[in-house]
Amino acid sequence: FWQKIVIMETEKIMAMNKRKRLLSERTARIILCAALYAALALFIGGLFLLSSNYQKIYKSPTVTDGKVDFSGIELESRDVACNLAGKWEFYYNEWIVTDSFEGEPDGMIGVPGLWTYRNFGKGTLPKTGYASYRLVAENVQAGVSINVFRHNSDLAYRVFLNGTLNVRSGTLSKNLSGTKVSGTYDERIPYVTDGGTIEIVIELSATNGGGLNAAPWLNYVWSGNTYGSRLRSYTFIALGITTAA
């Protein structure tokens, strides 16, 4: 009889200890999850702060209504990485440099951004097509070699500065079948600034992606390398994660 009582009490104690252990483990998991969520929230909050203030942080001028003023911007500084996000002139299904198009733009479009389902007086646009984007840069520092480009592009495009080819990535075509994306620079010809105004034109090859999903960068070139890559990488991570969030 006493042996059965001892066994029963022992089993009760073991069960209680097991429940306590499980409760402790559950509490530890809850605390760990809460800490991870808090850390993630702080991280994402920091990225939002970075992405919303990158122009100030990287000393990048603001693009407004198809123009950007580089007054006081020293392009040769390693602290400068000029992201050209903002409102650009937009020409749907036109290559304004290659085809010497002299007509008016269809309107202004935000870069990065898509033309899909937008209406520029041509009806609702599909996600397919090709296009040109135009921006006027004013008061650019003289005597500096620069490139304008998209990093690791998933589109085929070319950039003209004052009508001169600056960068080409991929094979361009007005048809999807002829478009070939390379993801890197196939041609890169640094442009030497003269201190005046620079007309920046991006011609985009036929795509089914609806337009420029990332803003281009303007950076100076030294010994064949473009500075600002580390700054750009941080911003790409910030913008990518905050967009996904």
Q: Which residues pair with 90 in a beta bridge?
A: 107, 133
Whole-angstrom Cα distance, residue 2 to residue 21?
28
Please check whether residue 156 is in contact with residue 178, taking contact to mean a CB–CB distance below 8 angstroms.
no
DSSP 8-class letter at 40: H
User: One digit per residue, pLDDT tens: the chain, 245 residues?
Assistant: 666 666 666 777 777 777 777 777 778 788 888 888 888 887 776 655 555 555 555 567 889 999 999 998 888 875 566 889 999 999 999 999 999 999 999 999 999 999 999 999 889 999 999 999 999 999 999 999 999 998 778 999 999 999 999 999 999 999 999 999 998 889 999 999 998 899 999 999 999 999 999 999 998 886 444 444 444 444 444 444 444 44
Strands 157-161 and 145-149: unpaired
- Which tokens sit at 85? 């996000």
- What global pTM score does this model have? 0.72
Q: Residue 158: helix, strand or coil by DSSP?
A: strand
